[in-house]
Each structure stands twice: as C-alpha cells, then as structure tokens.
Structure 1
Amino acid sequence: MRRALELAGYGPVTGDHARVGAVILAPDGSVLAEGYHRGAGTPHAEVDALSHLAPGAAAGSTAVVTLEPCNHHGRTGPCAVALIDAGVARVVYAIDDPSPTVHGGAERMRAAGIDVVSGVMASEAESFLERWLRSVRLGRPWITVKWAASLDGRVAASDGTSRWITGAAARQHVHEQRAAHDAILVGSGTVLADDPSLTARGDAGELLSEQPLPVVFGERLVPAEAQVMRHPRGFLQCSGHDLPAALDVLHRRGIHTVLAEAGPTLTSALIRAGVADELLIYVAPILLGGPYSAVADIGVGTIADRTRLIVVSTTTLGPDLLIRARIDRSTT
C-alpha cells in the first residue's frame, strides 16, 4: 500500500479526479504490475496496472489500491468489473470512495467471489487525498485562502500601494500554489484595483504548464482591457453576492481546489462563512501601519469570540515567513 500511495503521487495534482495508485501482486507476493491514474479521461490506476499484463496473467493475484475501485461508467468503465474480469482473487484498498455515484465497487467484487479487504493504511490515504475527499464529501471545492501582509497585518500602505510586500521567494511560492489548484478566486474589486493576470509563472516569468481557472466573484464587470481577459484558460465570473451558490457552480464544473487571493472583503466572507479550509499567510518583516488590514469583519464582536488558528507549519522564504494554518473548528 505504501508503494501504491507513492505511485498515486505521480498523478496530476489538479483536475476532476482522485490521485490513485495500484499494485498487482502474484500469489507469492512478487510485484506483477503497477499503475496510477494520469488524469481525467485516462485509465484508472487498476486498469493502468492491468494493461501491463498479458491476458490471464492477473488470475489469482492480489490488487492493492489506494481508493475503493469504482463501480460506475464515466469516461472509463468500472474498475471493479475490470478486476473481476481479470480473475483477481483478492483486492486490498485503503479508503471507501465517498461519491455515491462511484461507491459500491467493494460490494460488487465481493458478490463476484473476490476477497475484499479495506482500511489498510487508511489514515495515510485520507491525509494524501484530504483536499479531494473534503470536496466530494462537502459538495464544494477545498478553499485555500492566501494573503501577503506586513508584520502588523497590513496588505497595502496608506496610499493603497502593495507591490511588493514580500520578496521574490515568497512570490514564486505563490505561483507554485496557483499551479497546484484548479482555480484562483478573486473579487471583482481586486480585478479593478490591481488588474492581476492570475497566471502561474516560473522564475523567469514564463507560464507554467498547469494554469488555474480564474474566477471573479462579484457584480462589477471585468473591463475589456483587463489582463485576466488574456488568461490562457479564459475566466469565469460568478455574479452576485451568494457565495455558497458560486462555490456550488465551481464544484459542478469539476473544480475541487480553489486558491483565494482576494482582498479583505472576500477573504473575510470566506472565513465568516466557514469555508476557508486552509490559510497561507505570507508575512514580511516590515511595518506599514494605516487602514488596509488583511482581514475585515469576520463576526468577532468580543475577545471571547475570537477565531483560533492551528498552525500547521512555518517556512522561511528568503526574508519572509509563510504560516500555514487551519481554523480550529473545535472552538467554533
């Protein structure tokens, strides 16, 4: 299973799919074949592994998979049926598939006489697939909220200028985070004020191979001359003020991860709505003062109602500090 999780890590981070790995073992425990899912529309990990074997070579084997084999016809056929047809005798997987349209592969294989074992290294698989699993279970994208601020919590100077608060290393890390999410979310006010390109770029300014879909939230129209109009993936505007409805639209489009690089208003709305799954806070060793705080009203009227954070990690990026944190749900 550990090897299957390693194989799963080779799959693309973004896209409407889970990263899954599979290992086919002979009755004597030797490895017959390995596979992983290379993205939406490509063979699933089990089928990828079986494709490396001659017909009949998998008879009596054990398939070790990081996620319950699927039981539905999508862009590809059911993996449960592929394993049954291949003559696999035993299937070991880590966690059940949470999607009601996909779940059921285990029962189907058991009904066909296959010995099915689940829960092997389940905690490791849950951690590995955390973002995708949370998105499927909650019916909305995983949302990473990012901001860059001075040590006194300001995102701009008193005159509104904000470029650049952090150094080159922190800014490049942000571009890598953009490439690791399906979409990037900003408010229409940010588009009008900053005219961001919302692309993921490398050290030399080149476009990275993976680009997030820009999503503009708000009623104000995006100007025809705005940089986002020239984004290689186009952009999506979610008009209005209904945040849950906008997230539902994104989820139905197969978007499982969103990086929010919004201003204080939208950032605060995401936190206040309880949909900020992770915070990436880039802190520069500078003081700015002034009115432009990173977070506005999040519904804290008194100190007893303060929102507590759990710091997951701290990382030094040149002169800056990256704090990766989660909201402490046990106190909300």
Structure 2
Amino acid sequence: MPVTLKLATSLDGRIATASGQSRWITGERSRQAVHSLRAQHDAVLVGAETALADDPELTVRLPGYAGPQPARVVLDSRQRLPDGCGLVASARQVPTYVVATTKPAARLLEAGVRVLRAPAVGEDRPELKVVVQALAAEGLHRLFVEGGGQVAASFLRCGLVDAVEWFRAPIVIGGEGRPAVGALAVSGLADAPHFRRTEVRELGEDLWERYERI
C-alpha cells in the first residue's frame, strides 16, 4: 500500500509552539492543497492525540467537490475517542476506523465506527505493518498520514513512508516548539530514511516540497 506522509511546518520543522498552538502555521493555499491530496487517497490517518486535541473532520472540503470522502483512521490503542467528538458523531456519514490494541468498545461500534484490532508494540502502540495490511483488506489502498510527530516517526521507523508532502511556512518557532517528526533512534546517517525531492512549488508565502523514497 502506498503511504504518503504530510507535514505542515515552520522553516525549522515545528508543527506547533510549546503550548500546542498550531492553527494556522501554513496559509490558505497550502491548506487547499492538502484537501486536494486527501481527495487522491482512500484514507486519512491521525493519532489519538491529534484527534483528541483538534477534533478534526479529516474530510475533503473544496469548493464544488462532489467526489468520495476518504475514510478516517485514528490510531487509538485504548479507544479514548469520546462519543461527542466529530469523528464519532459523523461515522455513519463518512467511514471511520479506530485501530485499537484492546477489544472493540461497544459504544464505538454502536455509533458506526469500525474498530480494527492490532497487536501492541512498544508503549502500547498498534503494530503499523499489521495496521497497513488490515486497512488494505478493507479496500483502502492509498493512505495519507496526517498525524503528529510520534505518528510520523513511527511510520518512518517502520520504513512504510513512500512519499512526503511537506508544506513549509516562512516562520521560525524554535527548539521549544513541537517537532514534526519524533525520535527515530538514528545512530548514523546511513541509517536515516532517505528521500529524493521531486518538485518544489510556491503557494503564496509557503513552499510545497514533494519527496519520494529512494
């Protein structure tokens, strides 16, 4: 399954300030481009922390768009999504998956959420290679990852990222800001994930850089 990682950051690779403020680092044209990318994928994935903090819609919202909506996928090991959040409330209108490491919660199933169970690794995180296989079995073959720094790092560590769509705003947040990619445990440059830049575009004041895995 092709996996695309989306990053929307400051020049120094931060996705939020130390206090968590992140809306909006990038401009309107970058956000519209992200919606176009969502429309090209079968599913959009975030981690539980992003879902709980932002209550995102994860839908395609473009003027005149009438195509299918991608499924929404949340890595939520302990099924913490509350009943009143937008993802759960709209699960019968837009396919919504929770990937858990525990038995499916009846309240989520009753709301129309599809709960997939995956084995736990590390700090009770779903095994991502199993997650990708399970999503493919559901007919979801193009995955767009929009999670926070830990989710991005997890996919990169597993060697699952085939392409990166990086939107960079001309601001500098500093080292106390939250990084776009968490720890990778890279001991040498040869061990780091390598990508080839395929395109650079200007979107207003932002840059859109596109990469593919080497």
- TM-score (ref. length: structure 2): 0.82
- Tell me which residue corresponds to 1:175: 35
How far off its partner does 1:314 sit? 0.7
What is the CA–CA distance in structure 2 between the aligned matches of 1:248 and 1:303, rounded to whole Å? 29
**What runs of 5+ residues in structure 1 fail to find an aligned partner?**
1-140
- SS of 1:155's equivalent in the other structure is strand
What is the CA–CA distance in structure 1 between the aligned matches of 2:21 and 2:134, rounded to whole Å? 33
Greater RCO (CA < 8 Å, at least 6 residues apart): 2
Which letter maps to 2:38? R
What is the CA–CA distance in structure 1 between the aligned matches of 2:131 and 2:210, rounded to whole Å? 25
Q: Deviations along 1:118-172, whole A, 9 cap, x unmatched?
A: xxxxxxxxxxxxxxxxxxxxxxx21110010000110001211000010000000
- SS of 2:15's equivalent in the other structure is coil
Q: Deviations along 1:219-246, whole A, 9 cap, x unmatched?
A: 1321111111225313011113111111
Within the candidate set 228, 233, 236, 2:97 is matched to 236
How far off its partner does 1:298 sit? 1.8
8 Å CA contact 1:179–1:208 kept in 2: the answer is no
What is the CA–CA distance in structure 1 between the aligned matches of 2:130 and 2:194, rounded to whole Å? 27
The answer on 1:209 being equivalent to 2:70 is no
Number of residue pairs matched by the alignment:
186
Which letter maps to 1:226? C
Q: Deviations along 1:22-81, whole A, 9 cap, x unmatched?
A: xxxxxxxxxxxxxxxxxxxxxxxxxxxxxxxxxxxxxxxxxxxxxxxxxxxxxxxxxxxx
- Tell me which residue corresponds to 1:285: 170
Within the candidate set 130, 145, 163, 1:260 is matched to 145
- Tell me which residue corresponds to 1:18: none
Which letter maps to 2:5? V
CA RMSD of aligned residues (A): 1.6
Which letter maps to 2:26? T
- Tell me which residue corresponds to 1:120: none
What is the CA–CA distance in structure 2 between the aligned matches of 1:308 and 1:258, rounded to whole Å? 20
Bigger shift: 268-277 or 207-216? 207-216
8 Å CA contact 1:200–1:211 kept in 2: the answer is yes
How far off its partner does 1:197 sit? 0.7
What is the CA–CA distance in structure 1 between the aligned matches of 2:68 and 2:130, rounded to whole Å? 26
- TM-score (ref. length: structure 1): 0.54
Residues 163 and 208 (structure 1), Cα distance of their counterparts in 2 relative to 1, 3 Å cut: farther
What is the CA–CA distance in structure 1 between the aligned matches of 2:183 and 2:19, rounded to whole Å? 21
Matches of residues 141-180 of structure 1 in structure 2 within 5 Å? Answer: 141-180=1-40
* Bigger helix fraction: 1
| Larger Rg, first or second structure (1 or 2) | 1
- SS of 1:288's equivalent in the other structure is coil
How far off its partner does 1:248 sit? 1.1
